[in-house]
Chain A
């Protein structure tokens, strides 16, 4: 017969071993999860990235080419998006009530200025009330073209696969009107520069469209990973 002391010791050992095994199992699983949610959502067009069945938001069904739509400009004049055909485009969907959208405005102004004379058009599409947008555009001195709409702007967003739009999102096209990338969330300078460099490669026929889309998807993923890490 074992002594009570020994029995207690063995019991305690088994209990501790069990707790250790449980904790180890738990922490081993834990480290495989990403540490922080990253800054931006990306969908490159029109090949959706491989995704798991549990994906949070399905990638929008992005059209291969710039769809046609028409909205009023700041002065109320109906303007077709085709007015800029032959140019590469940065089409930014935004609203005055959206903080991240407002934060992007200075970047978009800089992009418009930096690329002036290089056949690139930055166009803002405000999903908002016209009077609010006019007031905001004047206050923030938006110097690139802005189109405005309510339901019709939502319909325009839906043409890019953003059926229940979250703002901001930005569409990049090459000069042939091919949709090169669709970026969901707040755009930052490195991402904008990177996508535009690929658009330029595409325009100068240094790279084919599928390659450019893949390079953008991979490059943005890498940037997002760097931000998270």
Chain B
């Protein structure tokens, strides 16, 4: 399992993430951001289905 996914699962309400200044940190932060956005879109889809 990747670090961003691990963070996303273990801190589900996280709004701000900063984990260093090296390449790994940058990659994880970007991946986390994309993962969070994807997850929010997924939740929106679920909400729409539920409301239908």
Q: Do A and B bind each other?
A: no
**B interface, CB within 8 angstroms of A:** none
User: Which A residues fall within an 8 A CB radius of B?
Assistant: none
